[in-house]
Homo-oligomer: A and B are copies of this chain.
Amino acid sequence: MMTEPVNLQKTLQSFSEPWSPRIVAQLNDYDVRVAKFRGEYVWHSHLDTDELFIVVAGRLTIHLREGGVERLVTLRQGDVYVVPRGTEHKPVSDAESHILMVEPTGTLTVGDTHEEIPDDVDVTTGHHLD
């Protein structure tokens, strides 16, 4: 249980690693996470859950594979998008973007199915704040 608010901008200033979400709050059995996206992530999908993205700063492109067809959605500051469960997706951020995500506690960053994961990718269910 949180007793005081947590500030998104302050939390985002407290770390620099890309693709390494921090858990800022818990809501029932869901986590609210913030992360810095920089460069290309791996293709992956979450089989049992949708995934909510909100752009706090910057620009995010999400590549999607929907029924064998690939397309992209581009999100700018203040944009909200939900990737449906089971949909393969690959977030890309040419410049750094700051992203808020909401998903069930325990959801892995790389999903349940994914392409080969480079060694430097932080495979995590999110890091708790100190």
Contacts and interface: CB of A to CB of B under 8 A. Distances in A.
Interface of A: 1-2, 4-10, 24-28, 30, 32, 49-52, 54, 56, 73-76, 78-82, 84-85, 100, 102-104
Given A5-B80, A6-B80, A25-B82, 10 more contacts: A2-B82, A5-B75, A6-B79, A6-B81, A7-B79, A25-B80, A25-B81, A27-B82, A28-B104, A32-B52
A72 to B, nearest CB: 11
A30 B79 CA distance: 18
Contacts of A76: 5, 7
A5, A52, A56 — most chain B CB neighbours (10 Å): A5
Nearest to A85: B28
Contact of A73 (B4, B25, B30, B85): B4
